Amino acid sequence: MSPEEIQQIYFLECEESLAAAEAGLAACRHGIDDPESINSAFRGVHSIKGGAGAFGYGALQAYTHIFETLLSDVRDGSVTITEPLHNLLLRALDVLSDHVLAARDGSSVPDDAALLAELEAAQAANHGAHAAAEPEPAAAESVDDGDFGIDFDDIMADLPLADSAAAAPAEGRWQVAIRPYAGAMCNGSEPLLMLRELATLGGECLRCDTSRVPQIDDFQLDQGYLDWVFTFPASVECAAVQEVFDFVGGDCALAFGDAQLPPLAPAPARTAAPTATSETGEADASPAPASSAQAAPAAPAAPSGASIRIDLIKLDRLIDSVGELVIAQAMLAQQVSALGHEASEAMALLESLTREIQESAMAIRAQPIGSVFSRVPRILRDLAAVTNKHVQLEVAGETTELDKTVIERLSEPLTHLIRNAVDHGIEPTEERLANGKSPEGTIRLSAEQKSGRIVIRVADDGRGIDRARVLAKAVEKGIVSPDAQLGSEEIDNLIFAPGFSTAANVTSVSGRGVGMDVVRQNVKELGGRIVIESEAGKGSTFTLTLPLTLAVSDGMIVEVGDQTLVLPLANVVESLRPGPGEVERLGVSSAMLNVRGSFMPVIPVAQAIGAGQPGSFDDGVLIVVDSEGAGRAALQVDAISDQRQFVIKSLDTHYRAVPGVAGATILGDGRVALILDVDSLVAGALGQSGRLAA
């Protein structure tokens, strides 16, 4: 594994650590005395610090050091957590997130001077009081949970080194600190064998830290008490050293660094020299419990034992192959059937296995949506700073899983929706109070899996959409013609029109009319749909319905002329054969379908895609579809031949984008069928229905 790859893993872990810290701090807010919550925040920050040192991100390391010192004091109970302090910790976390981004992208380091001063002031205020009340020696500072409650740099300075000259690596050499946890000595693993391998690579033991070894009466066999610092000539790559420890994974913490040792796991050190300890005969510091020491290995690249990281390209290749397998299986089934054989047991088994493999492969890519939801508190805090609107966030269903690609592309629309809800939905405090509402607004974010799709809701308890204002603005901007007669739903949908904004002033939050257009576009690109429900004075709910995966979808196979086409099932509302008088002609080429008293335009698909003249309405089938921009319409096709899963192949990649076509798929008989893009097909056929002028 190359240093770049290790670095990438570090940044991935930073994201996880930030999310854990965020969750920990959020939990603190609700249960202020919960030690585990603050502990998880501390662990998150500490892990980031460990890697920062190893990779030489000085600014990040310096920042996290001060941040974690304060968190450590909060965790120990020597600093009481109050509302202002909680807010300070949250702000510090935001800046930490910026620091991580700066380190990752190589951009400029955020200005953290003022915040650092605040953090230090919060800690110093406590230390003054603490020291005056209870002057205790550093040696007595015990770590109740075995975590990193100690300023490691100080400990390093105090380490009992037999030869202080040996503390620094010789010129031209670099060093790595090694801490095997208890697990590294189990199951046939032996740290000394790894040290031997290091020696083979050219490594030399600079020192062995024995300060955690207890007296014999406190000695526990299942504990690792020794830390090593090994040095290597510059010609040895750190990847080679990392490789030696790949086998033990999280059971051994490593910290690479030339200049100084990055902090490692807890060391409630015996600060007195060994002689002094044996003279007093007292164990003045209890060793860290094995379980908690194991729980927080600080190695930058220590993967968790229960999972492995896989290159996304490899995964995509697997998914592609599985897609081909699905097609091949369908082809085989069709050919067997064409030969007149009855479906055999073996074919049924093959089909169920293929489906199983496909589902398992998709499950590998599935990730909990919580990774996107966890970014929302930060967005809300940033917005609160700009708009002065403080919003409570309620989250549900964050463990709902969906495809990684969907998750990644969901972040942007979700951010826009949250910003929109805060800026336009939630009223200022005075207005809320005047309307008999709580002073702080609430945004509810939820996700659930429903009939093979993911439903995400962003609901606010704000003022709801002011339809009169939206319509007036749309007319003013020329988005809609002044004489248009629009229903509530259609007016609501105007906020998705490009260039639409009701904001009086363009601010950093909103007003450029870009956001909601992007939301609809992004959701559409994901094969999803977005629906607005809004009630004046009560709030608005944006419901996003997304596919679980982008690779495979359900569709209706239809025949139009000599073409076989696929209609995504997500768009289909119902299919019917029109009865007498249900299709009313309007002029020569237009017709309307009357479905239980509701009229919608009929679009002959053959005409829309240029596949010849459509048949008569009496012979064909009408499929009622829901489209984003133009509402419901009835697509006229010749016949429906099947309904099944299909593997989506991008036309953009293999050919070029074609209006009205979302992609292609391969049918069981090997033929290629185009997948219809219902939204653009309907919008194109209706010429935007004459309602939307833009």
User: Should residue 225 be labelled a site residue for another protein when binding is judged by CB under 8 A?
Assistant: yes
Stretch that binds another protein, among 30-38, 177-185, 341-349, 534-542 (CB under 8 A): 177-185
Provide the mask over 134-173, with x wherever binding to another protein is found by CB under 8 A and - wherever it is not.
----------------------------x-----------
| Cα angle: 274, vertex 269, 229; to 5 degrees | 85
User: Should residue 402 be labelled a site residue for another protein when binding is judged by CB under 8 A?
Assistant: no
Stretch that binds another protein, among 4-12, 206-214, 334-342, 372-380 (CB under 8 A): 206-214
Amino acid symbol at 373: F
Which are the contacts of 372, defined by CB distance < 8 A and separation ≥ 6? 407, 410, 411, 414
Which are the contacts of 93, defined by CB distance < 8 A and separation ≥ 6? 18, 21, 22, 25, 41, 45, 378
User: With respect to another protein, which residue has the nearer C-beta, 199 or 385?
Assistant: 199
Kindly tell me the sign of the dihedral angle through the C-alpha atoms of 592, 593, 594, 598: negative
Query: Could you give the residue ranges of the DSSP H alpha helices within 515-625?
Result: 515-525, 605-609
Contact assessment for residue 189 and residue 183, using Cβ atoms and an 8 Å cutoff = yes
User: Quick one: which H or E segment has residue 631?
Assistant: strand 631-637
Strands 552-560 and 639-647, sheet pairing: antiparallel
User: Should residue 206 be labelled a site residue for another protein when binding is judged by CB under 8 A?
Assistant: yes
Q: Quote the CA–CA distance of 429 and 568 in Å, as a whole number.
A: 45
The residue from 8, 78, 126, 210 that contacts another protein (CB under 8 A) is 210
User: With respect to another protein, which residue has the nearer C-beta, 169 or 397?
Assistant: 169
CB of 193 to another protein, least distance (A): 8
CB of 204 to another protein, least distance (A): 9
Beta bridge partners of 67: none
**Placement of tokens 């001077």 in the chain:** 113
E strands, 106-209, are: 173-180, 204-209
Q: Quote the CA–CA distance of 332 and 335 in Å, as a whole number.
A: 5
The residue from 18, 28, 195, 673 that contacts another protein (CB under 8 A) is 195
CB of 240 to another protein, least distance (A): 18
User: Quick one: which H or E segment has residue 238?
Assistant: helix 238-245
Tell which positions 279-298 bind another protein, by CB under 8 A. 279, 281
Tell which positions 75-104 bind another protein, by CB under 8 A. none
Tell which positions 563-592 bind another protein, by CB under 8 A. none
User: With respect to another protein, which residue has the nearer C-beta, 18 or 255?
Assistant: 255
- Distance set, CA 254 to CA 50, 128, 183, 186, 300 (Å): 9, 35, 14, 18, 7
CB of 198 to another protein, least distance (A): 9
Closest to 273 in 3D by CA, of 335, 221, 211: 211
User: Should residue 176 be labelled a site residue for another protein when binding is judged by CB under 8 A?
Assistant: no
Closest to 19 in 3D by CA, of 446, 398, 440, 402: 398
3-state percent helix, strand, coil for the chain, nearest multiple of 5: 45, 20, 35
CB of 394 to another protein, least distance (A): 50
User: Should residue 474 be labelled a site residue for another protein when binding is judged by CB under 8 A?
Assistant: no
The residue from 114, 157, 216, 588 that contacts another protein (CB under 8 A) is 216
What the block records as the tokens of 357 is 């493999």
CB of 274 to another protein, least distance (A): 5
Closest to 97 in 3D by CA, of 110, 106, 87: 110
Query: CB neighbours (10 Å) of residue 498?
Result: 14
User: Should residue 266 be labelled a site residue for another protein when binding is judged by CB under 8 A?
Assistant: no
The residue from 277, 354, 374, 541 that contacts another protein (CB under 8 A) is 277
Beta bridge partners of 294: none
Stretch that binds another protein, among 103-111, 169-177, 222-230, 392-400 (CB under 8 A): 222-230
Contact assessment for residue 293 and residue 265, using Cβ atoms and an 8 Å cutoff = yes
User: Should residue 205 be labelled a site residue for another protein when binding is judged by CB under 8 A?
Assistant: yes
User: With respect to another protein, which residue has the nearer C-beta, 190 or 652?
Assistant: 190
User: Should residue 180 be labelled a site residue for another protein when binding is judged by CB under 8 A?
Assistant: yes
Stretch that binds another protein, among 28-36, 140-148, 204-212, 323-331 (CB under 8 A): 204-212
Strands 552-560 and 563-568, sheet pairing: antiparallel
The residue from 113, 114, 165, 221 that contacts another protein (CB under 8 A) is 221
User: With respect to another protein, which residue has the nearer C-beta, 101 or 162?
Assistant: 162
User: Should residue 278 be labelled a site residue for another protein when binding is judged by CB under 8 A?
Assistant: yes
The residue from 1, 213, 509, 518 that contacts another protein (CB under 8 A) is 213
Query: Could you give the residue ranges of the DSSP H alpha helices within 246-342?
Result: 274-280, 290-295, 312-338
User: Should residue 228 be labelled a site residue for another protein when binding is judged by CB under 8 A?
Assistant: yes
The residue from 208, 290, 318, 332 that contacts another protein (CB under 8 A) is 208
Stretch that binds another protein, among 94-102, 201-209, 446-454, 464-472 (CB under 8 A): 201-209
User: Should residue 187 be labelled a site residue for another protein when binding is judged by CB under 8 A?
Assistant: no
User: With respect to another protein, which residue has the nearer C-beta, 82 or 215?
Assistant: 215
User: Should residue 219 be labelled a site residue for another protein when binding is judged by CB under 8 A?
Assistant: yes
Stretch that binds another protein, among 48-56, 179-187, 332-340, 638-646 (CB under 8 A): 179-187
Q: Quote the CA–CA distance of 425 and 542 in Å, as a whole number.
A: 11
Which are the contacts of 25, defined by CB distance < 8 A and separation ≥ 6? 37, 38, 41, 86, 89, 90, 93
User: Should residue 501 be labelled a site residue for another protein when binding is judged by CB under 8 A?
Assistant: no
| Cα angle: 365, vertex 371, 372; to 5 degrees | 105
The rounded radius of gyration (Å) of the Cα atoms in the chain is 32
User: Should residue 319 be labelled a site residue for another protein when binding is judged by CB under 8 A?
Assistant: no
Which are the contacts of 228, defined by CB distance < 8 A and separation ≥ 6? 177, 178, 179, 195, 205, 207, 208, 209
CB of 196 to another protein, least distance (A): 6
What the block records as the tokens of 87 is 């807010």
Stretch that binds another protein, among 213-221, 294-302, 537-545, 627-635 (CB under 8 A): 213-221
User: Should residue 215 be labelled a site residue for another protein when binding is judged by CB under 8 A?
Assistant: yes
Stretch that binds another protein, among 189-197, 259-267, 508-516, 664-672 (CB under 8 A): 189-197
Which are the contacts of 628, defined by CB distance < 8 A and separation ≥ 6? 493, 496, 520, 524, 529, 530, 679
User: With respect to another protein, which residue has the nearer C-beta, 191 or 300?
Assistant: 191
User: With respect to another protein, which residue has the nearer C-beta, 216 or 346?
Assistant: 216
CB of 163 to another protein, least distance (A): 9
Closest to 248 in 3D by CA, of 207, 188, 290: 188
The residue from 53, 191, 266, 268 that contacts another protein (CB under 8 A) is 191
Contact assessment for residue 593 and residue 578, using Cβ atoms and an 8 Å cutoff = yes
Number of chain positions touching another protein (CB under 8 A):
32
Stretch that binds another protein, among 55-63, 100-108, 214-222, 465-473 (CB under 8 A): 214-222
Q: Which residues bind another protein (CB under 8 A)?
A: 162, 180, 184-185, 190-192, 195-196, 199, 205-208, 210, 213-217, 219, 221, 224-226, 228, 274-275, 277-279, 281
